[in-house]
A and B are shown apart, each in its own frame.
Chain A
């Protein structure tokens, strides 16, 4: 019996070491790809290698549910964008607060019987208000509650232009972000979606619609999320973008070609990760129909969003995200090890499966293996500690690399104090935050099936 157990522990330990090595390789590649991409882009901006055009017509869809505290500020910030041809479509998904009334009063909106082309099924609308502010048409649609995906589908049905942006009601766009996010569409006609970069608003000081200062805030929780966002948006997304392999276009800020999204069936309803599901669906639709396509990522198109500052909110948010990941991957299981999907299948999908979706199970299994190995006297404690320390330092340096990339990418200036703080936060992020996330992800498995249609909420600060 002990012999068999020893064999199992041996095989498991080989698996875990390979798992870590593959993850380390991926992480290193993400940092390298991020460094290369950002440096190249910076150089190209200096040399005016940019396609500037502000007349690609874009509809900005803002789904809202109980967003009364932020909705006016959010719409006002959109009106300040440096772009010529866009409209704002706010979809109130049956809010219980004053979201619609505040908008109607603030912009003196008028009730219209706006006809809506029902391209994608969604819950019925209750009323539509419109107002023109300068050159921008603001449309408010109030509909029956159906969840974020359903609200976005209503927005797609109601919008007038061939491209649309979806964004969160509590997010703000940097002044030049629309101009930047349409650039990949100008570069390549086959581009069907473009993801923007998300920054945490608590870290940023804005002036005239542009981020001018970046500081890790006092809240450790928010600071650790800032480092995590940097790793995702400046590392992973850039790496996946090199082979058209991004499996997610952030729901907080993404641009889409309407015709393709409508043809693919729009957003999934009753879904916790409608943004990822749409990205996977787009891959599947285009590959199945032999449509040449590109899903781009534009790190220069910046959106600011508020990160949860309380552990309870963070846990809820991450649990929802993980449930969404689970739903999306199981819905599009056909992408698993499929030659038709190429790198998207063999690199991106596998990554999300092993290092995101299954990571809580694998990591808990790893901890159990350590205990089993210790019990069977197979554990080399000295080696384990060294291994853990080396790997921790590796993770911290990796985060620091990404952090420094972020700083130079946006030409922010940092003091010595900021640098030291950055180092401390990277360390804490690696030894504390990832285990908190592990806990959230584990919870997602146990609580899967509950609150599928709920909107995520966080305490505003």
Chain B
């Protein structure tokens, strides 16, 4: 961890994830990156607007960007680990260039690949906020403590351009474990976004709607 981040409180991923989810009142979409990031998202309370990744390390931000481009009226959060984001740093430049109004990135930074045995990442001297700022994202912040994290989430919920929030977290493992059923996760997410209705679903008028997508 770099000098700039050294004074920042080390928080807990599950606690922060719960704080985030508690502030989502408008069916905001959340993309949970692989590993403990989405295990804690799962444990924080399953929502139809959550998408839980089970592979494709590093793609939480691009997937969230895609959702944001498809549904500009819905706010979209990417929850990503620092190791995952390192695999796809270029996406920060793409996001800065497209500047979607409805996208926020939350980086859970513990400096380790916790799920594989807590090996340190190669980025111990790097500053995620500085990297994102250098990519052209104007609204990037370290969360100083839990209260500051909540303030930044509120800022992201009202922002008119992409926001990145980085939080130093401890090395505690995830609290839950996502059910590994990718087809069901994807379908449920599409229903949560209003893109599809479940088979057999009947509209209030009594007609069964065709699959609209």
The judgment on whether A and B are partners is: no
Residues of A within 8 A of B (CB): none
Residues of B within 8 A of A (CB): none
